[in-house]
Amino acid sequence: MADNGVSRKQCANAIRALSMDAVQKAGSGHPGAPMGMADIAEVLWNDFLHHSPGNPQWFNRDRFVLSNGHGSMLMYSLLHLSGYALPIEELQNFRQLHSKTPGHPEYGYTPGIETTTGPLGQGIANAVGMAVAEKTLAAQFNREGHDVIDHHTYVFAGDGCLMEGVSHEVCSLAGTLKLGKLILFYDDNGISIDGEVEQWFSDDTGKRFEAYGWQVINVDGHDPEAIGQAIEQARAETGRPSLICCKTIIGFGSPNKQGTAATHGSPLGEEEVAATRQALDWPHAPFVIPAEIKQAWDVTEKGFLAESAWKEKLVIYEEEHPMLAMELVRRIKGEISGYFAEKADQYIASCQANPEDIASRKASQNCIEAYARLLPELIGGSADLTGSNLTTWSGSTPISEQADGNYIYYGVREFGMTAIASGIALHGGFIPYTATFLIFMEYARNAVRMAALMKQQSILVYTHDSIGQGEDGPTHQPVEQLTNLRTTPNMSVWRPCDSVESAVAWKAAIERRDGPTALVFSRQSLPHQPRDDVQLNNIARGGYVLKDCAAEPSLIILATGSEVSICMAATEQLQAEGIQARLVSLPSVDVFESQDAEYQESVLPWGVRNRLAVEAGATDYWYKLVGLDGKVIGMRSFGESAPGGELMRHFGFTVENVVETARSFS
């Protein structure tokens, strides 16, 4: 803190005033958490947090995550006060269209926001991912006397975050992985939207986290000296993550509403705001911060000096370890090695030149084997299905066994795994991939959505992609999941039909930097498809003519994944009957739809109204491509328990049914 006579209380009250003023002006918001956590935030941000307001992307900064994102005005107040490019006008525009202060912290909108939070518990999960990335990257690059990667991850969370099941998934794993630089502050105010939580949340949180392997510290959340001592104790413990349980009063300072749910999700009201000003001895007008208090908060120069000192360390590191330094800078910048595309294209060509009938999940593993050798930034994992998802390769090393490893055994934690991967991506220095069965995407669904919302590069490997899963039955057989993924904004989805399309899909996912990619693979073996060079090159365009007819087509069959081989045989039979049938493989509809209109028309001319889509998934999605005159062979129910081949026949995914349906066009 600046030595200018400003007290900690005044600094904390600046947060309280800005928070209640912004919520009151907006007519909506959550003033209670910012007012209750102001003292904790003041100590952390002024005395411990290493960051540089002039460069929010300084790589070795500490990461700060507000998991209870409804308290976003706490975050915006901190950013404004400490010197980020967030002027007071933006706080006055809280929750307004196109402002930099949306209702919940949104990654990419506001300088200094590390992740989008709001769905409770996921901020903690993202923070675990950031801590994993810091620890692993440090182990990979730090050398004796050169700690070039060395920072903490701090998280604020409330009762709601800890009630959400994802908090159990990720905090359990964080303890197992001994993430000593992860420090979680629990805002223990005993209040949620419905009131006093003791009726529905009576856990002994401290014992719960001790059981996870965390250090647990209890503190009065309104005692700055005790808070500082707790943070020191947490930072001193390097072998375990730390939970600091902070007993606080929600809406602290509001004389008539503090300690009640009335401060949680509603403005205090004009009269109560005035009363709070008086109670806090804050005589200043709304949104006015006295210069001496702003000066006490501002860490622009302090942050610049910290960043400059780190850059000097990096220069010395580069002199002693030039190759390592060059690689670290490349990964910090998120650049792909220049030779990757060429080597990947060579691998794709080799897959085409050496036909192999294999399950696409096995083809995926072969891709990982080929590409991971070129990309040390790839860090993968599976939710207790490694042997089924086939996500390891010969160079895989679990980080639980070796700190500088590249593989994470997530255990049965699909939701936590996916949210952790977003945290790894947000941290930087890695390209994360995760894996589970396609049906269990449902467990991870909101984390998948958040990855797309934040446009984070996270590669989502989903295997056992249809009723072809077989005997495990409808509980394990996906039907509607492909549609769910495909209709998610910013999500790219690939469902390859053989090893060649799988190799192209993996390359696309690695090179795509502006969002997650779902790679959907089969359990069952798929036959290799013959292609010429033009077709091979066109796979990357998401859809292409796999088998054309002698004249203008009178019928177009569209297919993906395991159904392509069925449709290939059907197309050949139809052509033998004199029907001008064209087969189009559409491994990625979204990529195909991003192509120029001329290319799309060359593949799917709209003048051809007789269109048949075939996919072992929900049918409705495909009508946008086949039109009202078209037909779809797909799933209109859940599956059954039987061998996969028998189920494919039972539900109509046969050459005979495709041919018969194609003939039915008038």
Rounded-to-integer distance, Cα 360 and Cα 581, Å: 26
- The residues that are catalytic are 414
CA gap 65, 154 in Å, rounded: 6
Contact, 382 vs 433, CB < 8 A?
Answer: no
| CB distance 372 to 419 below 8 Å | no
**Locate tokens 């069965």: which residue?**
437
Contact 284, 110 (CB under 8 A): no
Q: How far is residue 416's CA from residue 243's CA, in Å, rounded to a whole number?
A: 18
Contact at 8 Å (CB) between 435 and 384? no
The 10 Å Cβ neighbour count of residue 70 is: 23
Strand 195-196, strand 191-192: pairing: antiparallel
DSSP string, 212-251: HT-EEEEEETT-HHHHHHHHHHHHH--SS-EEEEEE--TT
Nearest Cα to Cα of residue 498 among 461, 466, 524, 468: 524
* Per-residue exposure over 620-655, b if at least 16 CB sit within 10 Å of its own CB, e if not: ebbeebbeeebbbbbbeeebeeeebeebbeebbbbb
Place of tokens 């928070």: 19
N-term to C-term CA, the chain: 80
List of residues 6+ apart from 70 with CB closer than 8 A:
30, 33, 103, 104, 118, 265
What ranges make up the beta strands (E) of 265-418?
Answer: 358-359, 378-382, 407-409
Beta bridge partners of 379: 432
User: To which residue do tokens 């292609």 refer?
Assistant: 531
Assigned token pair, 62: 């500490």
> Helices 72-82 and 32-43: crossing angle, nearest 10°?
40
Assign residue 515 a region: left if phi > 0, alpha if psi is -120 to 50, beta otherwise? left
Cβ pair 364, 388 in contact under 8 A: no
